[in-house]
Each structure stands twice: as C-alpha cells, then as structure tokens.
C-alpha cells in the first residue's frame, strides 16, 4: 500500500453537493406523484366507533381513502416486532392503520390519496371519526401503578421485566454488598423524554411499474434493505421485484432505523393499487406525535462503597417509559442496563428494569440509545460518592477503572445481541489523564476562586463512558475496477450525513493504491447491494469499512495475479501506486489497473484505448477469447462480508466548565473538552465532526429538550417554537483529543464513533452545575427555572 489515505483528515467529498443545494432528498423526488396525507388520532386513548368519509368524497382531486378495513392480508396485521426477547412477555406493535383502538395522539387512522398534498389535507379535514374516549395512562410511575391499562391484555402495563445480577468475586449478591458496605447512598434519577428530531422528517415515494410488475421505492430511511424486505412480505411481492433506495437523508439519529413504518408499507401498496406514483412527506407536527421518542427513564439507585470510593455493590431499578408500542422490543432499557457500568469494575451489580406502556408515542432508539441514561446514573453515582467521602471526583473514578492490562474484560452481563458483554481493548487511566490536562482540572480550584472573587459562579464536571459499537450480524462491500481505471464501491447500509462517501473511498483508495478521485461510493441502494442491515449502533465504519477492505483485498489479489502474467513477474514483487501496477524497484515495468481491468474480461472489443493497450499485454488480438479459468470470474471485481464475533467497545471522557447566573439562574457552558477513543481513526476530521454533532445534541438533552405531556396525553410542545433545541449560539467550542487503542476484533482495528458525543453530556453538565451551585442535580434537562426552584430548596 503506497497511497496512504487511511487516517488522513481529508475534507468530506459529499459536502460540496450537500451544502450547495445539490443534495437530492426525498421531497425533491416525485414532483408529479399523487400525494398522501393521514388522519391521525387526536386522542391518547380511544375506541374508534365510526369513520364517516362521505363529506371528503366531494373534494375535487381526491383519488382514494383507506381505513384499516381496506387493508388486505398481511398488510392488515400488526407491524413486526423486530427484536423479540424472552423478557418481553407482552410485546405489542400497531397495525399500519388503527384497528378499533388508538393508543396515542398521532396514531394513523385513515390514509387519503389526492392529486396534491393540499387536496389530500382538505379531504382529511372533512373525515369524521367518532371516538369513545378511554382513560389515558401518562407518566411512567403513574402507568406502573396500573390504575388504567394501555393494552387491555397487558397486566400492570408491564411489557417486559428483566433482572441481571453479577455477584461479587466472593459470591455475595449486590444487595448484600450494598447493605454491608462501609458507606451507602440511595437516590432517584430522572431523565426526561426527548427525540432525535432530524431536520428532514421521514418520507416515502413509491412508483409501480405495471409492465414489469415491480416497485421502486425511495425512503428517507436508515435501512433500505429492511424496508425492502418488509414491503415484499407485506405486499406479497418477490424480493427482486422491489427496489428500495435511500436518497440523500437529512439526518436520522435513530428514528429512521430498520422498523418498517406504517407509511413505508402503505405508500407502496397504494402506488401498486392505483397503478402509479404516490408520495408522502412527514410534516414537523407528525414527526413530534407520530414517529418516536426516547430517553424517558426513572432510575432508583442504591450503592455501597469503601473509604477509597471503590464501589462494592450497585443496585439499580429502572422504570422505562416505552410509549404505546414496542417495535424494537426492549433494546433501549437493555442497553442502559448492560452499558451502565462504563469503564468501571464494580464489586457486585444488580439491575432490574420494567418496560412500561403509556399512552404516548412509541419509544425507539435515539442516538446513544439508552446509554445517556445509563451514564447519567453511573456518573452521578461517582460524583455522589466523591462528595460523600470528600474526595476528588477524578480520584473516585480512577479507583474503579478497569486497567489496560485487564482486557479482554468480561462484565459478566449479557449484551443486547444476546452474547456476553466483553470489552475488547481500551486505556481508561490514560484517557482520564489526557482529559484532566486538556480541561486544566488540577488548576480549576484557583480559577473558581478567582471567579468567585469577581462575583461569578463557575463549576467543573466530568463524565466517562464505554460504548458497544459495530454490532453484527454482518455488512458487505462490493468493489469493481472498470476499464477507465475507476473504482466503484458499494455497500448496502445507508448514509444520513456521517461522511461515508469519504471514509469508504479512503479505505478503498488505501487498499487498492489508487487516487481517491478515482473512487466512487454508493450506499443504501438495493439495486447495487441487496443484503445489508443498516446504519445504527455506530456500526458503519466497523462493519462496512472492514467489508470494503476485505473486498478490496480480493480485487487487489486478482489484479496482481493478472498483472503478474502480463509483466511476467512474481505477484509478490508487485506494488500498486497511483492506479498503476509495477514491479517493486522497477517503475518502468508497469501496467495500469485500467488495463488489468480489461484483461480480466476475455470478452474484449477494441472499444477504447485501454482495450487496445490490453491486447499488447495479452499478446493476442481482441478477438482471441481464452476461456475463463476454473474457479475464476470475469471482471475485476469482488465482494466480501464482515461479520464480527462480538461488538467492539469505544470509550470517551468529557469535561465541562459552566457558569451559572446568580440572579437569572441561566446556565452557560464556558468550555467543553472531549477525549475520545474509537480505535484506529479512518478520518480524524470526520470523527471530530461526529463528536461535535453528538455533543450539540447532548447539550440539548442536558439543558433544553423535553417532551411535555398533559394528563390527557396531549403533547404540549409539538413544534420548534416550544420544543427548545440548542443553536450554534448555545453550543460551545469543543476541544477534542484522540486516543487510539486499536480493536483486536477486526482487520482495520476500528471502533465506532457516531453516537459517542451525545452519551455523557447530561452527566457532565449536571456534574458541573452541581459543582458550581452545591445542589444535587438529579434530573435532566435542567432549565434556569428548574435551577431556580432547586436553589429555593437549599
């Protein structure tokens, strides 16, 4: 490998297109398609008595109106429950259109198709649905009391209940260890509901080809392959007759993962039924009330520790608010409960969670997926131990760290993929040392004193986490070199702004020894790559990155074999530089990869210069067509898959300095520092961008974002006027340092980075506010009025 691009901070190749308005998003497509709109439930819990569409039938331009009764066969069934789990004894999913009962505001009840969206919305407004209002269940603790039920057949509103227990080395249970420890603390932590809020909402555009009896579907999705499988299954079409393409996607952050959304099966169905094109683009209110939320957990903690702050026993009980349905099973609380321990080795651990139904929109994974709640729990615990013992907060963490010679480290828990949770590599003491230096931890007391002398209140805080990334089961890569010397890379997972066009090209260019300008990358298009899982769980770099590298290695080997015949040299003596294969040390004995690509195909016509040149090397006319050797395939292309034995664990540590206003209780982040370890970096600039974006989202979760429901299950702040998100003005400059402990689990030594930034932010900001104010901060987000109220209790 002579063209080194892996590890270089090169600029994102996709940005010129995306920031100059040349991106092609879902709503840029299908200008002539019929438009769909939905009548959605205005009630949190109600029985549908009657649907009267008669007034809507007079709308000029109306094409069709569908209710649940119109849905045929499998389409009328509840949508699939994607990740079953033995603890999920009462998993529930919704039908694409509501059947009899609605269980949250925003649940789709009627689909209308019309000539354009305005007419479709007009028709929606004329449809009368008679409801019998049922008692709504709102608030997870209220739901757990089970005075009323969300699903009549789910006792106690409990969808799942799980206990995992890891005893101490001497066989004591966590509860015993807590009770017998020299010091014990008990407290309750509350993390509010929030949501991923991509700037582009969801959307689907489907085209039925009556001649070919096939569907082409565009969806703003994080997994085109699973949307394709769902459409084929629900519509009874053979898989090859369905193509799904993810165009440019304006953010996903989890909400567009693999679950087939109702609209993703209804719109293609309507397109086939109507024999044409149908499109639906989600509006912002729909996104608030009909897509999905996350976070939303109440956590009760009991901890026992010794005089040095070492945790001897930790007992955590989690109430997880699942909303009305569980399409992903218990993935979020299981991630919280198994990743909560972070970089620490704890004497004995017991975690119990109950997944509780409420009459609110369903909960599905949002960037970080349960980890921000877990880290909030663990890091608040560390700070409380430090405060109780009068120790420095970094000392308590250091006392509990897994050491770098203890890997692989088995936490004794079962991870979300059903396999043992084993950390592969890391260096937590070094990460903390780097963080303390970056933020100036040791000199902060003088800074604080100086600020106090000027009447300013400042505080410093930190938070540490470990994140399982790169989950399986597999991802693939396909690489083809064409006779113009260009390299075409495709992988089935999709992109929502992570920079995949750049990093995958960096990997291919490095592996094949070609200039990056020659490499093009396609993602999320089932025409190019049919088998794939999707982009979530910070898995693209690990999964597709390694698959592409493996595919490139196959192609490289083939190229060297063909070139060695042409150059009459041993393949082991060959190198590829700038797209030319040459004998090491003898650059004149060379053959361009473009020519090798022509030679790889016995069917050669002298269409171009490269083909003519190839005949010189082949020593025969272009009409001479030797047979393809046994075991070989024509063409210079290769495909490979990567399937890990288990996840690889990234780590990070963040610190912040905040100022709190003595009068207004306004909270300002003065500095924010990150030390991050995602193994070998493919592109440090992209990783920093990912971390910065994640921290910005984390600042939202720490200070602003919160879904406010009233007792009727109405979401009171379902617009960007009322749901606060941080702007550039609220996000501080983020100082970042990288630590690279390669993963021993995959050929490229990489770990994921896409979610990292968001994970500890609430814990870090809480730690800093607590330091500034001297008041325990046990809930997130915290607004100036919350802080003011807390001050009054002091």
Measured from the CB atom, the residue of 311 and 691 that comes closer to ligand MCN is 691
Binders of ligand MCN among 730-749, rule CB under 6 A?
A: none
Alpha-carbon distance of 596 to 615, in angstroms, equals 11
Binding segment (CB under 6 A) for ligand MCN, from list 166-174, 401-409, 490-498, 559-567: 490-498
Per rule CB under 6 A, is residue 496 in the interface with ligand MCN?
A: yes
Alpha-carbon distance of 218 to 526, in angstroms, equals 11
Per rule CB under 6 A, is residue 644 in the interface with ligand MCN?
A: no
Q: H-helix or E-strand containing 589? A: strand 586-592
Q: Are 610 and 598 in contact (CB under 8 A)?
A: yes
Measured from the CB atom, the residue of 108 and 470 that comes closer to ligand MCN is 470
Minimum distance, C-beta of residue 14 to ligand MCN, in the bound complex (Å): 10
Show the tokens assigned to 549. Answer: 């590298």
Per rule CB under 6 A, is residue 397 in the interface with ligand MCN?
A: no
Show the tokens assigned to 476. Answer: 């693939």
Nearest by Cα to 580 from 549, 613, 620, 606: 613
Minimum distance, C-beta of residue 490 to ligand MCN, in the bound complex (Å): 16
Alpha-carbon distance of 314 to 339, in angstroms, equals 14
Q: Are 329 and 88 in contact (CB under 8 A)?
A: yes
Residues in the chain: 794
Q: Are 748 and 549 in contact (CB under 8 A)?
A: yes
Binders of ligand MCN among 755-794, rule CB under 6 A?
A: 755
Alpha-carbon distance of 68 to 685, in angstroms, equals 49
Q: Are 100 and 167 in contact (CB under 8 A)?
A: no
Tell how strand 734-738 and strand 101-102 pair up: unpaired
Minimum distance, C-beta of residue 365 to ligand MCN, in the bound complex (Å): 8
Per rule CB under 6 A, is residue 687 in the interface with ligand MCN?
A: yes
Q: Is 359 exposed, middle or buried (0-12, 13-18, 19+ CB in 10 A)?
A: buried
Cα distance between the two ends of the chain = 64
Q: Of 83, 509, 512, 750, which one interacts with ligand MCN (CB under 6 A)?
A: 750
Per rule CB under 6 A, is residue 700 in the interface with ligand MCN?
A: no
Distance of CA 656 to the CA centre of its chain: 25
Show the binding pattern over residues 518-557: x = contacts ligand MCN (CB under 6 A), - = does not: -----------------xxxxxxxx---------------
Binding segment (CB under 6 A) for ligand MCN, from list 114-122, 334-342, 386-394, 682-690: 682-690
Binders of ligand MCN among 243-262, rule CB under 6 A?
A: 251-254
Measured from the CB atom, the residue of 531 and 607 that comes closer to ligand MCN is 531
Alpha-carbon distance of 228 to 204, in angstroms, equals 12
Binding segment (CB under 6 A) for ligand MCN, from list 109-117, 459-467, 492-500, 786-794: 492-500
Q: Of 40, 92, 500, 671, which one interacts with ligand MCN (CB under 6 A)?
A: 500
Per rule CB under 6 A, is residue 293 in the interface with ligand MCN?
A: no
Integer angstrom CA distances of residue 345 from 288, 406, 461: 39, 10, 21
Measured from the CB atom, the residue of 359 and 762 that comes closer to ligand MCN is 762
Dihedral pair phi/psi, residue 679, rounded to 5°: 70, -150
Measured from the CB atom, the residue of 220 and 595 that comes closer to ligand MCN is 220
Minimum distance, C-beta of residue 757 to ligand MCN, in the bound complex (Å): 9
Measured from the CB atom, the residue of 364 and 381 that comes closer to ligand MCN is 364
Per rule CB under 6 A, is residue 499 in the interface with ligand MCN?
A: yes
Measured from the CB atom, the residue of 471 and 667 that comes closer to ligand MCN is 471
Alpha-carbon distance of 367 to 536, in angstroms, equals 8
- Write down the residue that tokens 């298009």 correspond to: 525
Q: Residue 522: beta bridge partners?
A: 490
Per rule CB under 6 A, is residue 693 in the interface with ligand MCN?
A: yes
Binding segment (CB under 6 A) for ligand MCN, from list 392-400, 652-660, 684-692, 710-718: 684-692
Peptide bond into 408 cis (omega under 30): yes
Measured from the CB atom, the residue of 160 and 541 that comes closer to ligand MCN is 541
Q: Of 124, 686, 707, 780, which one interacts with ligand MCN (CB under 6 A)?
A: 686
Measured from the CB atom, the residue of 108 and 679 that comes closer to ligand MCN is 679
Per rule CB under 6 A, is residue 201 in the interface with ligand MCN?
A: no
Q: Maximum CA pair distance of the chain?
A: 91
Q: Of 106, 679, 700, 713, which one interacts with ligand MCN (CB under 6 A)?
A: 679
Per rule CB under 6 A, is residue 492 in the interface with ligand MCN?
A: no
Q: Of 287, 302, 320, 367, which one interacts with ligand MCN (CB under 6 A)?
A: 367
Alpha-carbon distance of 549 to 493, in angstroms, equals 15
Nearest by Cα to 540 from 690, 676, 733, 320: 690
Minimum distance, C-beta of residue 622 to ligand MCN, in the bound complex (Å): 41
The angle that helices 393-400 and 371-389 make with each other, rounded to 10 degrees, is: 110
| Total of chain residues touching ligand MCN, rule CB under 6 A | 36
Per rule CB under 6 A, is residue 494 in the interface with ligand MCN?
A: no
Measured from the CB atom, the residue of 315 and 467 that comes closer to ligand MCN is 467
Peptide bond into 473 cis (omega under 30): yes
Per rule CB under 6 A, is residue 753 in the interface with ligand MCN?
A: yes
Alpha-carbon distance of 582 to 240, in angstroms, equals 42
Minimum distance, C-beta of residue 720 to ligand MCN, in the bound complex (Å): 17
Per rule CB under 6 A, is residue 335 in the interface with ligand MCN?
A: no
Nearest by Cα to 41 from 123, 118, 132: 132
Per rule CB under 6 A, is residue 600 in the interface with ligand MCN?
A: no
Show the tokens assigned to 156. Answer: 């106690």
Minimum distance, C-beta of residue 549 to ligand MCN, in the bound complex (Å): 12
Minimum distance, C-beta of residue 198 to ligand MCN, in the bound complex (Å): 6
Alpha carbon dihedral 172, 173, 175, 177, in 10-degree steps, equals 30
Per rule CB under 6 A, is residue 698 in the interface with ligand MCN?
A: no
Integer angstrom CA distances of residue 351 from 60, 336, 413, 422, 684: 59, 10, 10, 18, 36
Alpha-carbon distance of 253 to 365, in angstroms, equals 8
Per rule CB under 6 A, is residue 36 in the interface with ligand MCN?
A: no
Q: Are 261 and 209 in contact (CB under 8 A)?
A: no
Minimum distance, C-beta of residue 675 to ligand MCN, in the bound complex (Å): 15
Per rule CB under 6 A, is residue 333 in the interface with ligand MCN?
A: no
Per rule CB under 6 A, is residue 108 in the interface with ligand MCN?
A: no
Measured from the CB atom, the residue of 351 and 686 that comes closer to ligand MCN is 686
Per rule CB under 6 A, is residue 436 in the interface with ligand MCN?
A: no
Q: Contact positions toward ligand MCN, by CB under 6 A?
A: 198, 251-254, 367, 496-500, 503, 535-542, 678-683, 686-687, 690, 693, 750-755
């Amino acid at each position: 490998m002579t063209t080194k691009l892996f590890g270089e901070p090169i600029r994102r190749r996709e940005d010129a297109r995306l920031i100059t308005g040349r991106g092609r998003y879902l709503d840029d497509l299908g200008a002539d398609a019929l438009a769909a709109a939905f009548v959605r439930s205005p009630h949190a819990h109600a029985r549908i008595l009657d649907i009267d569409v008669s007034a809507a039938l007079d709308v000029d331009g109306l094409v069709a109106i569908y209710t649940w009764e119109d849905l045929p066969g499998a389409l009328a069934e509840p949508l699939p429950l994607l990740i079953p789990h033995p603890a999920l004894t009462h998993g529930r999913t919704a039908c694409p259109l509501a059947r009899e009962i609605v269980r949250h505001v925003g649940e789709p009840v009627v689909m209308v198709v019309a000539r354009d969206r305005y007419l479709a919305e007009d028709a929606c407004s004329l449809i009368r649905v008679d409801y019998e209002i049922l008692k709504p269940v709102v608030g997870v603790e209220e739901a757990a009391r089970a005075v009323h039920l969300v699903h009549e057949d789910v006792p106690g509103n409990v969808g799942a209940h799980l206990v995992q227990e890891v005893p101490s080395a001497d066989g004591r249970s966590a509860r015993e260890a807590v009770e017998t420890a020299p010091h014990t603390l008990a407290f309750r932590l509350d993390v509010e509901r929030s949501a991923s809020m991509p700037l582009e909402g969801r959307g689907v555009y489907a085209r039925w080809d009556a001649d070919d009896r096939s569907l082409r579907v565009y969806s703003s999705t994080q997994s085109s392959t699973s949307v394709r499988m769902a459409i084929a299954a629900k519509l009874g079409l053979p898989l090859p007759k369905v193509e799904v393409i993810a165009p440019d996607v304006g953010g996903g952050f989890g909400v567009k993962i693999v679950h087939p959304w109702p609209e993703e099966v209804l719109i293609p169905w309507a397109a086939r039924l109507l024999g044409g094109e149908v499109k639906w683009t989600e509006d912002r209110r729909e996104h608030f009330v009909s897509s999905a939320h996350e976070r939303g957990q109440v956590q009760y903690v009991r901890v026992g520790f010794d005089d040095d702050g070492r945790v001897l026993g930790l007992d955590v009980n989690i109430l997880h608010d699942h909303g009305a349905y569980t399409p992903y099973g218990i993935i979020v609380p299981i991630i919280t409960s198994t990743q909560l321990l972070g970089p620490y080795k704890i004497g004995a651990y017991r975690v119990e969670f109950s997944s509780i139904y409420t009459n609110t929109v369903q909960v599905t994974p949002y960037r970080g997926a349960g980890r921000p709640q877990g880290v909030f729990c663990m890091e608040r615990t560390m700070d409380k131990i430090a405060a109780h013992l009068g120790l420095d907060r970094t000392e308590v963490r250091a006392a509990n760290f897994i050491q770098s010679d203890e890997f692989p480290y088995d936490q004794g828990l079962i991870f979300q993929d059903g396999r043992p949770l084993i950390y592969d590599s890391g260096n937590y003491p070094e990460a903390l040392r780097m963080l303390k230096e970056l933020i100036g931890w040791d000199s902060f007391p003088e800074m604080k004193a100086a600020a106090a002398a000027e009447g300013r209140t400042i505080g410093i805080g930190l938070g540490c986490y470990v994140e399982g990334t790169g989950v399986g089961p597999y991802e693939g890569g396909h690489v083809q070199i064409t006779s113009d010397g260009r390299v075409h890379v495709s992988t089935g997972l999709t992109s929502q702004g992570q920079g995949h066009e750049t990093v995958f090209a960096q990997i291919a260019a490095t592996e094949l020894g070609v200039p990056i300008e020659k490499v093009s990358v396609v993602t999320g298009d089932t025409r190019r790559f049919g088998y794939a899982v999707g982009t979530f769980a910070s898995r693209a770099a690990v999964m597709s990155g390694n698959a592409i590298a493996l595919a490139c290695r196959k192609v490289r080997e083939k190229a060297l074999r063909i070139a060695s015949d042409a150059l009459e040299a041993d393949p082991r003596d060959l190198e590829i530089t700038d797209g030319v294969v040459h004998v090491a040390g003898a650059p004149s004995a060379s053959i361009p990869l473009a020519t090798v690509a022509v030679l790889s195909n016995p069917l050669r016509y002298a269409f171009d210069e490269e083909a003519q040149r190839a005949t010189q090397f082949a020593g025969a006319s272009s009409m001479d067509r030797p047979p393809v050797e046994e075991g070989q395939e024509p063409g210079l292309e290769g495909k490979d898959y990567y399937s890990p034995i288990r996840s690889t664990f990234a780590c990070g540590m963040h610190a912040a300095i905040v100022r709190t206003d003595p009068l207004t209780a306004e909270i300002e982040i003065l500095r924010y520092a990150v030390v991050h370890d995602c193994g070998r970096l493919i592109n440090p600039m992209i990783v920093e961008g990912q971390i910065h974006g994640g921290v910005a989202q984390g600042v939202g979760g720490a200070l602003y974002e919160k879904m406010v429901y009233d007792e009727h299950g109405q979401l009171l702040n379902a617009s960007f006027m009322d749901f606060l998100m941080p702007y550039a003005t609220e996000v501080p400059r983020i100082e970042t340092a990288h630590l690279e402990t390669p993963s021993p689990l995959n050929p490229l030594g990489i770990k994921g980075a896409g979610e990292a930034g968001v994970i500890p932010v609430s814990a870090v900001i809480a730690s800093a506010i607590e330091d500034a104010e001297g008041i325990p901060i046990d809930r997130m987000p915290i607004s100036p009025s919350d802080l003011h109220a807390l001050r009054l209790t002091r």
